[in-house]
Structure 1
Amino acid sequence: MDASWSYRFLEPRDIDEVKDLCRIWFPVRYPEFWYQDVTSAERYYSLAATHPVDGHIIGMIVCDVKSLKQVNREDHSLLSREHCTEDSRVAYILSLGVVESFRRKRLGSALLNKLIEYLTSPVKRHVKAVYLHVLFSNMAATSFYRKHDFREHMFLPFYYHINGRSADACSYVRYINGGTPPKTIIYPLFYNCVPVLVCYIALLLQTIFY
C-alpha cells in the first residue's frame, strides 16, 4: 500500500466506473463484453488503485497472459524461437490509465511495477515478454514505456479506427524471465522501417488519387 492510494483487484461491481474511466482515458471504444471480462474473468490481471478516502478507482492496469498461438498475427514475432518453448507465454497489457488528479505522482509507474513484479514471480517464469499497442501519435505514452525498459517492436499503419478515421499504432515490448527478441540481421529494420515506408507511400497515393 502507498500512502496516497491502496490496491485491489477489479470486481463485477466496478463495471460502470471502469466504463466511465475508459471513455475519458482512451479514444478507442471497447465492446460491452470487454468490460464484463476484465471485471470478472479470472484470466485477467486487473489491478485497481483506489482513493484512500472515498475508495473510488484512481488508476488501473489490465493484462492478459497468452501463448504465441493466441496473439494477433502482427505479434507473432515477439520472441526469439531460440528460447521459445510450447510453455512460453507473453503478457499483453490491454489497459493502463490514471485519473488526471493523480498523474505525475508515479501511480502509473507503481501499477506497471506491480504487474512486472507479478509476472517475474516464480509461478510466472514461463512469461517471456510483456507487450502492448499504443497510438503512434501518443508521445506521452511512448515516452512512459521507454522509461520503463520497453522497446519499440513494430510500426502498425492504420491499426486503429477512431471516430471514423484510421490511426497508426506501435507495439512496445519488454523482455522478462530470460526472453529475447528475434535474432535476425533484418530485425528490427524489417519490423519498423519497412512498415513506416509502406504507410507513407499509401498516404502519398491517397493524396494523389483522392
Structure 2
Amino acid sequence: MAENGGDAGRGQLSLSFGPVTEKNIEQLRVLNRAIFPINYPERMYKDILAYPDVTHLAYHNDVLVGAIACRLEKTPQGPQLYILTLGVLAPYRGMGAGTALLERCLQSVAANLPEISEAVLHVQVNNEAAIKFYSRFGFEVAETIAGYYKRLDPPDAVLLRRRLQPAAGDGAAA
C-alpha cells in the first residue's frame, strides 16, 4: 500500500524534510498507523533504517505531515527501488506534500544511486486516487496480483512500475 490520496489543487504547503533515524522512527510508525489500513511489521521499519537515502519525512511548521519509505531490492534485471509507503495526513492532502516527497525520493535515487533503473510499488486495486497520482509521474500498471493483501477488501493489488534510467546499452533517455 503505497499512497493514500492524491495531490490536486488546494495550494502548496511550505515543507521541510528530514531523514528517518532510530530516534524518530516511532514518529513514522504513528504516522503510518494514522494513514494506512495496515499495521506494518517491525521488519519493515528495520528495512527503512537501512536505506536513509530513499526515505524522507515531510514537516509543515515542525509537524510531521507525511513520509515516503522505500528500500532497495535486487532483481534479475538489476537493483530496483521499492516504495513501501507514501502517505500524507488527511488535512494536508492535495497541497503538494505527496508530490514533493515522491520527487525528492526519485531525485535522490537519480543523483546518488544511478544503478537503480526502476521504481515499483503495490497499490490496492480500488485505490483510484493513488493509481492516478502515480500515473502523473510516469508509473504504469505492470500487472494485477490477486490476493496480495491478506487483510484488506478487496485483497487484490496492482503492481506499478516506472523506468528511472535507461537499461545498459539502451540509448533512450529516462
- 2:118 corresponding residue in structure 1: 129
Report if the CA contact (8 A) 2:117-2:163 is conserved: yes
What SS does the aligned partner of 1:160 have? coil
Q: How does 1:13-162 map to 2 (within 5 A)?
A: 13-38=23-48, 40-42=49-51, 45-52=54-61, 55-69=62-76, 84=77, 88-121=78-111, 123-162=112-151
Is there any run of 5+ residues in structure 2 with no aligned partner, and where?
1-11, 169-174
Are 1:172 and 2:163 matched, yes or no? no
Letter in 1 for 2:150: H
**Root-mean-square deviation (CA), in Å?**
2.2
Letter in 2 for 1:61: I
Write the distance in 1 (CA, Å) between the matches of 2:102 and 2:83.
9
Report if the CA contact (8 A) 1:90-1:129 is conserved: yes
What SS does the aligned partner of 1:167 have? coil
| CA deviation profile, 1:38-84 (whole Å, cap 9, x unmatched) | 2x3246621001122xx231111011122105xxxxxxxxxxxxxx5
| CA deviation profile, 1:93-137 (whole Å, cap 9, x unmatched) | 01100111211011101110011111212x422111001001001
Report if the CA contact (8 A) 2:126-2:154 is conserved: no
Between the aligned residues of both structures, percent identity stands at 27
Q: CA deviation at 1:146?
A: 0.8
Letter in 2 for 1:170: V
How many residues in Structure 1 have an aligned counterpart in Structure 2?
A: 157
What SS does the aligned partner of 2:148 have? strand
Q: How does 1:185-200 map to 2 (within 5 A)?
A: none
Write the distance in 1 (CA, Å) between the matches of 2:23 and 2:118.
31
Is there any run of 5+ residues in structure 1 with no aligned partner, and where?
70-83, 181-210
| CA deviation profile, 1:154-185 (whole Å, cap 9, x unmatched) | 1001110116x6600000001011149xxxxx
Write the distance in 1 (CA, Å) between the matches of 2:119 and 2:135.
13
Distance 1:35 1:129, change over 3 A: same
Write the distance in 1 (CA, Å) between the matches of 2:94 and 2:13.
15
Q: CA deviation at 1:16?
A: 2.6
Report if the CA contact (8 A) 2:13-2:95 is conserved: no
TM-score w.r.t. length of structure 1 = 0.68
Letter in 2 for 1:58: V
Q: CA deviation at 1:3?
A: 6.5
Select the structure that is richer in helix.
1
Report if the CA contact (8 A) 1:27-1:162 is conserved: no
Q: Which has the higher contact order (CA 8 A, sep 6+)?
A: 2
